[in-house]
Structure formats: structure tokens, C-alpha cells
Amino acid sequence: MTTQVIVLNGGSSSGKSGIARSLQAVLPDPWLAFGIDSLIEAMPASLRESGDGLDIAEDGGVDVGSVFRELEAAWMQGVAATAGAGARIIIDDVFLGGAESQLRWQKALGTLDVLWVGVRCDSEVAASREIVRGDRAQGMAASQAETVHRGVVYDLEVDTTHTESLQCARTIAAQATSCPAGRPASSVGRAHHGPRQGAV
């Protein structure tokens, strides 16, 4: 298997975390999972409530400040270094900036072999999950459902609207274990947009 990093991008409540856990169960060898939520939880509470950090509005909108970006960049470099040291990594992220967010990861991951996965979910279904979870500002799931995918180029897309996390994970694992060698992280960003591949 040549894939070193699997990047899952999708809106809030789209099912990324469930897929990441399922991937750890079905993939050969141990894989470490790093999520943007863990980074946010690791930050001081003051940065979760300020303009310099992460400001979440009552309607679910998210504004990201300069200090958050600095810490995020350091975290990305750390995740990339862990992969470079030989660990296989699953990244669970929300590309608030769409293509710009993907570019930041491409720069951090460099020549590592990365599988880019879009995790989609119907906005109404994601919003319903959001209500059940009770730990997200209502409106976040609906606002992010499409915006996080704008301009992002994927190797594979899955849709959790009607498909369980485990089935999505199996589809991703099949792709990860059959990817040809030598597909660096930076190559995806140069690809042309085309039909969605392998959507579940």
C-alpha cells in the first residue's frame, strides 16, 4: 500500500468522524486519526471566543482569526511530520476556505502520497444530525454542506446521506490500498475538475 495520508473533507455533521473511526477498523496496519475538532479543543478557551481565534456565530457561521491560522499551520506541519516519520494518517477537516484550505494542506504534506476524499451529505440530513448531536450551533451544517467543497479536487467522493459510515470507509479503504505509487499531495491541485469519481 502506497497511500500515506487520507484527507477527509466535509461540512459539519457530514459523517467524517464516523468514517475516520471505521477506516481505522478496516484498514490494514494501524492508522492515526487527527481531526480539526481536536485542534480546536486543544486551544485555550479564550481563542474559541475571540476574533483572533475561532468565532462561531449564533447562526452557525464561522470566522477564523490570525492566531488560529498560525496555530493551525503549526498543527498541519506536525501532522505532516508524523506521516513523514512513517505513521499512516487520517485527517478529518472542514475546508472553510474550499480550494484555499486544500492548498494549505498540499503545502504542508509536500510529496507524501495523499488520498483526497470529499465527504458529502444532503444539507437537510446534516442539519437533522446537528440537532441530535446538540453540540453544534444550529445552521452550521447547512451553511457548510456545499461551501467546503468549492474548488476542491478529490480522488474520491462518498455521500453519507443514505450510506453508512462503514460502507463509505470500505470504499475509501479499497481506493487507498490500490492507489498507484508516486501520486504526491501536490499533484491533485493541478488536476482539472471532472466528473466525481467513485461516489457512494
Q: Answer for the pair 14, 119: CB distance below 8 angstroms, yes or no.
A: yes
Cα–Cα dist 100/189, whole Å: 10
Query: Length of the chain, please?
Result: 200
Report which of 108, 122, 86, 200 is spatially closest to residue 154, judged by C-alpha positions.
200
Report which of 97, 108, 39 is spatially closest to residue 63, judged by C-alpha positions.
97
Amino acid identity of residue 177, one-letter, is: T
Per the residue annotation, which of 29, 37, 52, 55 is the catalytic one?
37
Report which of 125, 133, 135 is spatially closest to residue 162, judged by C-alpha positions.
125
Q: Take residue 162 and report the three cell numbers written for it.
A: 443514505
Q: Take residue 117 and report the three cell numbers written for it.
A: 476524499
**If you write DSSP's letter for every residue of 81-100 in order, what string do you get?**
HHHHTT-EEEEEE--TTTHH
Q: Answer for the pair 173, 26: CB distance below 8 angstroms, yes or no.
A: yes
Q: Answer for the pair 72, 39: CB distance below 8 angstroms, yes or no.
A: yes
Q: Is 52 a catalytic residue?
A: no
Active site residues: 37
